[in-house]
Amino acid sequence: MLVGLLICALLFPAAMLPQSQVAVLHTEGVIHGFLVLRTLDGQAIADGDVSQVAHGDRVTSHLLFHFKDASVHEETVVLSQRHSFRLISDHLVQKGSILKNPVDVSINGLTGQFKVNYADDDGKKKTVTEV
């Protein structure tokens, strides 16, 4: 329940505010990197990769972490880079045993609509949608 409320608290104000404008000085291109997520004491807890591709004025960035216990953190963001960066869509999935409450969040930056699917503390599936 706490995770769902926290997500809603973070997303409701964001959906109501106009997007901040960040000017595109140099268009984004292609990247691919291999990542290691470590604890503060240096212990590796997840391996992952990040990739980015650009097609015309759209940039798609994909981040994926596989944790040692098979948990997953995956996010795909699509941005427009026409004159200024603008969020088109964002999809975040976090699931696995390391995460007490799995979550699947989708945001449509063009309409302001978002949807959050999560499991509460009792394991019951919940959905929050806002237009």
Report pTM: 0.77
Please name the residues in contact with 51: beta carbons below 8 A apart, sequence gap of 6 or more. Answer: 31, 32, 33, 61, 62
- Averaged pLDDT score across all residues of the chain: 84
**Whole-number Å distance between alpha carbons of 34 and 91:** 20
Give the residue with greater pLDDT, 42 vs 2: 42
Q: Is the per-residue pLDDT at 14 higher than 60? A: no
* Token reading at 8: 């809603």
- Tell me the three state secondary structure of residue 108: strand
**Whole-number Å distance between alpha carbons of 60 and 88:** 10
Give me the residues paired with residue 49 across strands. Answer: 34, 64
Task: Kindly report, residue by residue over 65-101, the tens digit of the pLDDT.
Answer: 999 999 999 999 999 988 888 999 999 999 988 777 8
- pLDDT interval class at 19 (50, 70, 90): low
